Amino acid sequence: MSFFDDDEPPTRQARPRRPARPATTGTRARTAAAPMDSQQLMMRRAVALGVGALILILLVLGVRGCLNSRTKNALRDYNRNVAAIIQDSNDQVSKRLFELLNSGTSTSPIDLQQNVNQVRVTADEDVKRAGALDTPGDMKNAQSHLLETLTFRSEGVAKIADLLPDLQGSGAEDASNQIAGQMSKFLASDVVYDQRVIPFIQEGLAKHDITGQTIASSRFLPDAQWIDAGFVRQQLTGKGGGHNPNGPPAPGTHGHGLLGVTAGGIPLQPAPGVTRVPAGTNTQFVVKFQNQGENDEFDVGVRVSIQGSGKPITVQKRVDQTTAGQQAEVTVPLGTAPPIGVPVRVVVTIVKVPGELKTDNNTQTYTVIFTR
């Protein structure tokens, strides 16, 4: 035992282990990198949101710009289309119609009617073209009045065409009166276009800051004389108011004298007398007069005027022809209710004819009280 004890080598003392270095470098790097990654992510998201918002704004502005451009183009197109239709109405309807009517004395009423019917077709087409227009919302008011304007014209041309053959016979006076009434439609169409269509087009263009546009003007009725039935008769038949159809007044005396007037069957008493007349729904004056000259007269005007209470009332009828030395009679309907219960002046006049020198017997004034 001691032998082994003596020979046993001394035990080598184990070297103590070097303490392990704390592995802090990677952890610290990851810990430090985490806030940086979060900040970059937030920055990237903010940039993306900003870019997205910018793209959205650009898209909205682009769409709005396209819509605004489309609206402006639609308004310009509408104005150009209206101008084209109105130009056609001026040139192919109005100009052509009045060229035909002014040649009426050299054309038979039947041939004249056929020619005017061709103009009628063009006027109807103008209404259809206007009705088919693509109308922007800002032009709705202009469009409704444009259709009203063209409809007045189309209806007037059609009615005139229908009346032209009546100028040949005994209904010439009535036909002339009705044609003159259709001329009033043409005048109304000019007023509507000038006072409604043009201002509404201007308003629609100005609302969108559209400049440099020309708005077509229109004057369908070339002369206000066409509203007078006597002028119509003269132009279409050669028989003008109060003159020989074959030319200037013939030699010799001309003129008429008023003989008497009844209203509602009651003879009127010249002033200062006062006549009470029952006023019906359509008071009529029967005027008797005489051709006191040496010549027949044509298209003689007889006028009745009520004055002295409110707005004056004036009506006129025409007698186709009076014969030298003979009496004539014409019924003149008042067409409106006269003032009731107050004294008024009723002035009756046989309109002076060409060549007439003595006119003091053409007119008479009556004091009348209309009663219920």
pLDDT at position 21 is 56
Domain parsing of the chain, residue ranges: 61-237, 256-371
Give the residue among 264, 286, 280, 267 at the shortest CA–CA distance from 366.
267
Give the residue among 226, 362, 337, 209 at the shortest CA–CA distance from 280.
337
Q: Contact at 8 Å (CB) between 283 and 340?
A: no
pLDDT at position 2 is 47
Distance, CA of 176 to CA of 172 (rounded, Å): 6
- Per CATH, is 256-371 categorized as 2.60.40.10? yes
pLDDT at position 369 is 94
Distance, CA of 346 to CA of 308 (rounded, Å): 9
Distance, CA of 287 to CA of 322 (rounded, Å): 14
> pLDDT above 90 covers what percent of the chain?
58
Alpha carbon dihedral 232, 238, 242, 246, in 10-degree steps, equals 170
Distance, CA of 86 to CA of 372 (rounded, Å): 50
pLDDT at position 4 is 47
DSSP conformation class of 193:
I
- Tell me which residues of the chain have a pLDDT lower than 70: 1-36, 61-67, 169-170, 239-248
Name every residue whose Cβ is closer than 8 Å to that of residue 302 and which is 6 or more positions away in sequence: 287, 289, 316, 317, 318, 319, 330, 332, 348, 349, 350, 351
pLDDT at position 19 is 58
pLDDT at position 194 is 95
pTM: 0.54
